[in-house]
Structure 1
Amino acid sequence: MEKTNKLGLWVLTALVVGNMVGSGIFMLPRTLAEVASPGGAMFAWIFTGFGVLVTALVFGNLAIRKPNLTGGPQIYAKELFKEGSQASILSGYMSTWGYWIGNFAGNVAIITTFAGYLSSFFPVLTSQAEWFTIGSLSLKVGNVLTFLVCTLLLWATHFIILRGLENAGKLNFAATATKVIGFFLFIVIGIFAFQKSNIVPFMAPHIDESGKSIGLLGQINHAAVATLWAFIGVESAVVFASRAKNQIDVKRATMLGLLIALAIYIGISTLVMGMLTQQELLHSDKPLIDAIAAVTGPIGGKCLAGLGLISLLGSTIGWVMLSAEVPYQAAKQGLFLPAFLRENQAGIPKFSLIISNGLAQLFIFSTISNSISDAFNFVITVATLSYLVPYFISSVFQVKLAWTGETYENQLKTRIIDGLVGLLSTLYSVWVIIAGTADMKTFLFGIGLLASGIFFYGKVKQNAAQKNPDQDQDQISA
């Protein structure tokens, strides 16, 4: 890797913060209001914050103990089985496939949120006027324009990244620094505008669409997937570990990025609930803008919308970079299709970038028939569940290392602590998977996307056999 493509501590930290504090901070206040009372939402944040903390510790620990395993948490799947065996290759490939799907699906959530905030300057993007009708499908003017804006942003980002990773990283850093400053100013304003009456009753039962009353535990379960989405991206520095100037920066960037994101999320999510009523939150496609506009007037709303656009632009760059990097790094270890190894002169995995963005484009078609908030809620559920598989695998791998003692020579105390951290992270991942798959439609769609990877496994297995011609063929035969 050329030096111009190496990433330093602050660029890596910006990737972590930029990828975490993306669409979630802008849309989640409404999403949470749909499934939980203020109390339920706050407890969901507490549980999620703890779960993500132990998961981040897992990532940081594995990055130090297994520095040769780069490209993201899904890579650890192959280490759960005998090296070179079919189980090792299949688990590594399928975990990468699921994580990759989560990446480009998550891109769409960010891009659709960008279109939602752009509507503050161009209200025509929310127009419900009918353009034309095809059969039972009625196309709205706003939906079609939103689709065009999302498509333009996706492919403009594509060409920015093709010009070089370091320049794209610096642009992401500038956008991240701007939004961090802006969000802390929002928190200062929100402290003075907070009204306790908007979060009363704090722990009331929540009534769902069918009229069923949901208690506190049920609210926490329903909010678990949405709150976890806010922290997806904590592993971003791990994904780019092979491109870091110094390996120690990977763990530092992960923990520093998590702490910055936690401060922003806790501050803003709490304050927005006190700045808008529950009904206002439920009917808002731009809850942060509506909250600040209620305090400072339209000018404040416009300023925050501009900040939102800068923030989401940086997040889009970071996530598109990550989407292309994941299958590229997996292919380097023989766990993905070899075509994904193709690079351009700047060292960018161009084939991976094209395919990732092409598939993201398919998800963007959801904006044609759905509102921005509906499209956002759908894709974050699918994407988050896709991420949970490699999160779970990483946690299990840490438990395995602690149990067997591998890399822990004469470190009994550290081994016990890391084993407990891995166990807690494993339990957290299982809890969110169970909560997120309660909806059968989402479960079946997610399983279908994951299972689709089987169609390409034969090529991956064949490539693995060619890389290891002396390997026992019983290990890699079907």
Structure 2
Amino acid sequence: MQEQKKPEQKKMNLIQLTFIVAVNMMGSGIIMLPTNMAHVGAISLLSWIVTALGSMAIAYGFAQAGIFNQRSGGMAAYAQDAYGRDGYFQVFFLYFLSLAIGNVAIGISAVGYLATFFPGLSATPISTCISVIALLWLTTVANFGGPSLTGKIGSVTVWGVIIPVGALSVIGWFWFSKETFAAAWNPHGLSIAQGMGSSIALTLWAFLGMESAAQNSAAVENPKRDVPLACLFGTLGAAVIYILSTTVIQGIVPNAELANSTGPFGLAFEHMFTPTVGRIIMALAVLACVGSLLGWQFTLAQTGKSAAEERMFPPFFARVNSMGAPITGMIVLGVLQTLLALSTISPTLSEQFSALVNLAVVTNVIPYIVALSALNVMMKSANIGPGVYKRNVVIVVIAMCYSVFALYAAGKDAVLGGMLVLGITYIIWGFLAPRFTAAPVTVSSSPEIKGAQRAAA
């Protein structure tokens, strides 16, 4: 009697993976970006010059790394090529924590948008916390259907961003006012360097997600081709949309009004058309934010699964159902994020949200630097031509220098928090390291030392 073959798990294709990258970036990043940038003024738009170039360089580096290293694990697997198992764990654990922190921040943002339609959701800090926890568990359970279902849902929810933001980027120029834009340019009298630097961390937060194609490589049909392309296409598309939309909205909505808005794109369409259209756009923004959280929940679970398969995390994170979803790991992560959400019960919720975002940026950027620095080892091992080697080195150095500058721009509090997390990472690694370290030669087992001991006796 022949054994029945297990049905192959459905995996993502290039289009679905590109949508995951796009929704991971745009779903949570672009929605509140105009409001946050308006606090600085339109001069903050100059930061896109640095951020877009830096983010494309980072995406290019990950695309190249994905060609030379196709093992599961994404950035952690890249780091292992240069730094061994300890590098793998450092990158994995920091990135893992950054996703958990960022997911709670996204959940808080989504609840803020939903409160436009259901004010009771954020009436008190306790009700806000309960709403965030409910949303975190909703998106966790939605991922039980496996990578194929997540990709399909992501390809739908991303339209919650593409429709309003894309439409504003194209037709918004008919309502663009040079006078409104000029008045918003530099309301606080900042220098160009100050205006640019004050928004670097903010704009980088909008681009976090460019690496999600690499992190999900094990769930992709053709990772050698699809991971690099999805990484580049998703980042390039997001960069164009970010720059166009945040520029045009500064010329439609007066800066003071924009800075106080909880739904900047809905406000823009309200100025362009009617309040009803504005509320429709707000509903689409909610859809996009929930879709973004769904995509990040999947990426978080997939990151834990890859580490468990490498024996660097509890084995239950690697257990999957028939559709390829690591349900046990997802449930544990849901509990972890619930605990993080409970820590936000405070009257100063907005300040805690900002702190979560800054810490998420720092704990993301450190893995970026470590993983990208390993590309040199990969290229040497692959014996690539000198022309390609020099080009890749130049671009990756730009990516790493930008990442270091982003750490500086995140502020001392966020960097301090990141260093504390890094310290905890090495404490944990100290207990895991014996699994991967060869037993050292002891005094009693060394023939040379034994001979010396006998001679001394």
Whether TM exceeds 0.5 here: the answer is: yes
* 2:42 equivalent in structure 1: 38
Residues 162, 350 of structure 1: 8 Å contact kept? yes
Residues 75, 330 of structure 1: 8 Å contact kept? no
* 1:452 equivalent in structure 2: 424
Residues 74, 394 of structure 1: 8 Å contact kept? yes
* 1:423 equivalent in structure 2: 397
* 2:57 equivalent in structure 1: 54
Gaps in structure 2 of 5+ consecutive residues: 1-5, 442-457
Aligned residue for 1:347, secondary structure, equals coil
Shift of 1:44: 0.7
Is 2:162 aligned against 1:180? yes
Q: How does 1:4-83 map to 2 (within 5 A)?
A: 4-34=9-39, 36-39=40-43, 41-68=44-71, 70-81=72-83
- Counterpart of 1:91, as a letter, is G
- Counterpart of 1:394, as a letter, is A
Partner Cα separation in structure 2 for residue 110 and residue 312 of structure 1: 7
Partner Cα separation in structure 2 for residue 365 and residue 473 of structure 1: 45
Partner Cα separation in structure 1 for residue 261 and residue 154 of structure 2: 28
Residues 73, 306 of structure 2: 8 Å contact kept? yes
Q: How does 1:57-136 map to 2 (within 5 A)?
A: 57-68=60-71, 70-81=72-83, 88-127=84-123
Shift of 1:370: 4.5
Residues 165, 265 of structure 2: 8 Å contact kept? no
Shift of 1:339: 4.2
Is 2:177 aligned against 1:195? yes
Shift in alpha-carbon separation, 1:77–1:337, aligned structure 2, 3 A? farther
* 1:134 equivalent in structure 2: none
Q: Which has the larger radius of gyration?
A: 2
Structure 1 window deviating more from structure 2 (386-395 vs 356-365): it is 356-365
- Counterpart of 2:55, as a letter, is V
Shift of 1:214: 4.3
Residues 54, 422 of structure 1: 8 Å contact kept? yes
Aligned residue for 1:17, secondary structure, equals helix
Say which of 216, 231, 246 aligns to 2:207. Answer: 231
Partner Cα separation in structure 2 for residue 80 and residue 461 of structure 1: 17
Residues 100, 327 of structure 1: 8 Å contact kept? yes
Residues 89, 429 of structure 2: 8 Å contact kept? yes
Q: How does 1:125-274 map to 2 (within 5 A)?
A: 125-127=121-123, 141=124, 143-201=125-183, 204=186, 206=188, 214-247=190-223, 248-274=225-251
Q: Which runs of 4+ in 1 moved over 6 A?
A: none
Aligned residue for 2:116, secondary structure, equals coil
Shift in alpha-carbon separation, 1:152–1:284, aligned structure 2, 3 A? same
Partner Cα separation in structure 2 for residue 335 and residue 319 of structure 1: 21
Q: How does 1:332-343 map to 2 (within 5 A)?
A: 332-343=309-320
* 2:454 equivalent in structure 1: none
Partner Cα separation in structure 2 for residue 386 and residue 271 of structure 1: 32
Is 2:277 aligned against 1:275? no
Residues 338, 460 of structure 1: 8 Å contact kept? no
Deviations, residues 227-257 of structure 1 (Å, cap 9, x unaligned): 0011110111111112211121111211221
Aligned residue for 2:382, secondary structure, equals coil
Q: Identity percentage over the alignment?
A: 27
Partner Cα separation in structure 1 for residue 169 and residue 91 of structure 2: 38
Deviations, residues 430-476 of structure 1 (Å, cap 9, x unaligned): 1111221x33x3232232233223443244224335xxxxx4547xx
Aligned residue for 1:275, secondary structure, equals coil
Say which of 276, 280, 283 aligns to 1:299. Answer: 276
Residues 47, 199 of structure 2: 8 Å contact kept? yes
Deviations, residues 266-304 of structure 1 (Å, cap 9, x unaligned): 121112212222211221222222222222221011111
Residues 187, 271 of structure 1: 8 Å contact kept? yes
Residues 399, 422 of structure 1: 8 Å contact kept? no
- Counterpart of 2:76, as a letter, is Q
Shift in alpha-carbon separation, 1:283–1:342, aligned structure 2, 3 A? same
Partner Cα separation in structure 2 for residue 11 and residue 250 of structure 1: 11
- Counterpart of 2:174, as a letter, is F
Is 2:407 aligned against 1:433? yes
Gaps in structure 1 of 5+ consecutive residues: 82-87, 128-140, 207-212, 466-470
Shift of 1:8: 0.7
Aligned residue for 2:436, secondary structure, equals helix
Relative to the length of structure 2, the TM-score reads: 0.89
Partner Cα separation in structure 1 for residue 141 and residue 133 of structure 2: 13
Shift of 1:203: 5.3
Shift in alpha-carbon separation, 1:414–1:37, aligned structure 2, 3 A? same
